[in-house]
Amino acid sequence: VHSRPLVTIARDEILHESVKQAMQTRGVVNAEIVRRTPTVGTLAIHATPLPGQPCPGVVLVFYDVSEQRRHSGELTYRATHDALTGLANRRHFCDEAERTIARSNRYEEALSLLMLDIDHFKTINEENGYNIGDKLLKECADLLFNQCRLSDIVARYGGEEFAVIYPGLDLTAVIPRAEKVRAAIALE
């Protein structure tokens, strides 16, 4: 049976830099290493220098924080995405919109915003039930998301409202995209 080390110490620059920094500053240094073997995960390193002359040492303590990072990522996702559609939620969209607008202003780039609202959605819910309404919202979200570029910011803005920010696209470029989305949703 071949076993692989969690960290290859001789090749890991982060580990070496942590030890070096702990020795130079005579203070505690914390760092993280993403390990690749045996599974992907994250190790936290806590380097504490030992007093002594002429060759002081360093105590290294490793903690597996993989589960914490995974859980943290999951919580972040839940806080920033709509549970039904998986699109960005309104709060996350507004935060991203502020950053995108600032970047657009700074670099004098085009920027467009598209707002969509499903007509008569309340009637659809009342006549067909909320399960059908939810299915319609998911289908519209998928259709909208698949029509967008990776750089676009797509969100469920409200109940049956969706929003898209198109960085780098002016009105001339966005109108045909909006019409394509409208036509596709009308066919659903």
Catalytic annotation, residues = 160
What DSSP string runs through the chain? Answer: -----SS-GGG-HHHHHHHHHHHHH-S-EEEEEEE-SSS-EEEEEEEEEPP-SSS--EEEEEEE-HHHHHHHHHHHHHHHB-TTT-SB-HHHHHHHHHHHHHHHHHHT--EEEEEEE-TTHHHHHHHH-HHHHHHHHHHHHHHHHHHS-TTSEEEE-SSSEEEEEEET--HHHHHHHHHHHHHHHHH-
Please state, in angstroms and as integers, the Cα–Cα distance from residue 78 to each residue in 81, 142, 188, following that order: 6, 18, 28
